[in-house]
């Protein structure tokens, strides 16, 4: 019997950052903060705001802010399929940050014609590196 379930699991990365929650919030919920460790962008922390991530060789990727709950949660649609969420939890003078990259489907391809399963594996590895960049940015 063939399995017709085609959703792929979300990418989830949780890190403990040696920085107060406000500093981490600024890093994930402002244009300047996101540009410092992720990608150049014209993000604004306003629900419904349409913006672009500059994905280098992949061009300008359209996004839309879907949730802003300072300083605990911000989400935005990325491209045609994905959702990015940053969840922050205060731990005294440190912050637990969880990244959730969802919207993966084994039967879909990206805007660039690449199958989701291949891109998901690549992005999962990329997020591991980006969490290191984020930590360096907020802890520096």
Q: Is the pLDDT of residue 138 over 50?
A: yes
Q: What is the pLDDT of residues 26-55, one digit of tens each?
A: 999 999 999 999 999 999 999 999 999 998
Tell me how crowded residue 135 is: count the other CB atoms within 10 A of its CB: 19
Q: Is the pLDDT of residue 3 over 80?
A: no
Tell me how crowded residue 12 is: count the other CB atoms within 10 A of its CB: 14
Q: Look at phi and psi of residue 15 and say left if phi exceeds 0, alpha if psi is from -120 to 50, else beta.
A: beta
pLDDT at 41: 98
* Structure tokens, 77: 């649609």
Contact yes or no for 18/29 (Cβ under 8 A):
no
Assign 125 a pLDDT band (cuts: 50, 70, 90): very high
How far, in Å, CA of 101 to CA of 127, rounded?
Answer: 9
Q: What is the pLDDT of residues 9-30, one digit of tens each?
A: 999 999 999 999 999 999 999 9
Q: Is the pLDDT of residue 5 over 80?
A: no
Q: Look at phi and psi of residue 92 and say left if phi exceeds 0, alpha if psi is from -120 to 50, else beta.
A: left
Q: What is the pTM of this model?
A: 0.93
pLDDT at 88: 98
- For the chain, the average pLDDT equals 94
Assign 2 a pLDDT band (cuts: 50, 70, 90): very low
């Amino acid at each position: 019997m063939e399995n017709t379930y085609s959703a792929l699991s979300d990418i989830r990365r949780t890190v403990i950052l040696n920085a107060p929650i406000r500093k981490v919030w600024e890093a994930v919920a402002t244009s300047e903060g996101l540009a410092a460790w992720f990608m150049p962008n014209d993000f604004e922390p306003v629900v419904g705001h349409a913006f672009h991530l500059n994905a280098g060789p992949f061009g300008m990727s359209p996004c839309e802010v879907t949730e802003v709950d300072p300083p605990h949660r911000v989400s935005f649609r990325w491209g045609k399929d994905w959702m990015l969420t940053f969840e922050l939890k205060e731990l005294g003078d440190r912050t637990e940050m969880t990244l959730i990259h969802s919207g993966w489907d084994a039967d879909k391809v990206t805007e660039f014609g690449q199958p989701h399963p291949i891109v998901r594996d690549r992005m999962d590895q990329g997020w591991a590196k980006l969490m290191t960049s984020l930590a360096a940015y907020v802890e520096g």
